[in-house]
Amino acid sequence: MKILITGGAGYLGSVLTPHLLCLGHEVAVLDNFMFHQNSLADCCRYDTFDVYRGDCRDVSLMRRLIVDRDVIIPLAALVGAPLCSRDEIGTISTNRDAVEMLCKISSVDQRILMPVTNSGYGVGKKGKFCTEDSPLNPISLYGTTKVEAESLVLERENSLTFRLATVFGMSSRMRLDLLVNDFVYRAVNDKSLLVFEGHFQRNYIHVRDVARVFAWGIDHFEMMRGRPYNAGLEEANLTKLELCEKIKEQIPDFVYIEAEIGEDPDKRDYLVSNQRLLSTGFETEWGLNRGIKELMKGYTIIKDSIYGNV
C-alpha cells in the first residue's frame, strides 16, 4: 500500500512508520517536527520512505501529498489535556478542522484509519464496561476534538477508527508524560510517587501493539471498515493504585502514597471492553509487565525531562 501518515514523527508515528516500512508498504510522512526530533532518521535508508516538513492544516500541501495514496493515517494532533489547554485554537484547528478538511479533499476510494481516544468515554458507570456503542462524554478539549473528528471520519464510510487506551512503552520520540511511562520513570528515578484519584480506572496498550493494530486494520480493512474499535489490553483495566502495585512487583523499593489533593484534567475513569477488535482475530503481544521491564531499561538511557508534550 501507498500510505501517508500526518504527524508520523511523533510518539506513535515514530514506531508505526518503521513498522509499516518493514512490512513492505510505501510510507510518506508529514510532520512539523515541533519537538526537534530525529526519530525517523533510520527510516531514510528505505527507498519506499518519503518525508515532508509542513503543517497538516495546509490544504494545498495536503492536496499534493494525498495524490495516489491508498491509505491516510492522520496522527497529527495536539495530544493531552495540558498541551491542549495551552493552545486551544491550535487544538481545534489541528485535531478537528484538519481532519474535516482531509475528509473533504480525499477521494471516496482512499482509506482513512484514524486514532482517537478512550477519554471520549469520560467517567464510566461503576462496574460497567464501555463498548463502542456506549455514549461518549468527553470532558477535556482534547477528548472533545477527537470525538468530533472521529464522527467526521466515520461519516465518510471508507474509514475506521481506533479508540486507543492509554499508550505506554518506549518510542524513539519518547513521551514521559503518559501515565504508565510517567509512573515507571518516577519509580526508577525517585523511588516514590504521590498518587491522586488512585481509584480511577483506565485501560492501557503498548505503543508497539498500536503499530500492529494499524497494520491489522490495513490488512483487514474490508471486514472492519465503517466502525470504531476500542484498542487496549483486555486484562489491563486497572486503577492507578493497581498500576503502582504492578510497578512495585518489578521495583520492590518503590513507595507510593495516595493523596487527597489533585485531579485528572481528563477525568478518565472507566472500564473498557476490547472484544470488538479481538473478535477480528487481533491479539496484543505486549503486556504491562513486559512493558514495565522495557521502560526500566529505557530509563537507564533517558535521564531528562524534555521527553514530554509540555
Tens of pLDDT, residues 110-134: 999 999 999 888 877 788 999 999 9
In the chain, the amino acid numbered 239 is T
Mean pLDDT across the chain, nearest whole number?
94
Prediction pTM value: 0.95
Q: For residue 238, what pLDDT band results from cuts at 50, 70 and 90?
A: very high
pLDDT at 187 over 80: yes
The C-alpha atoms of residue 74 and residue 4 are separated, in whole angstroms, by: 8
In the chain the domains, ranked by start, together with CATH numbers, are 2-301 (3.40.50.720)
Q: Directed axis angle between helix 288-301 and helix 179-189, to 10°?
A: 60
Cβ atoms 152, 106 nearer than 8 A? no
Tens of pLDDT, residues 14-46: 999 999 999 999 999 999 999 999 999 999 999
Q: Which of 91-95, 137-141, 218-222 has the lowest mean pLDDT?
A: 137-141
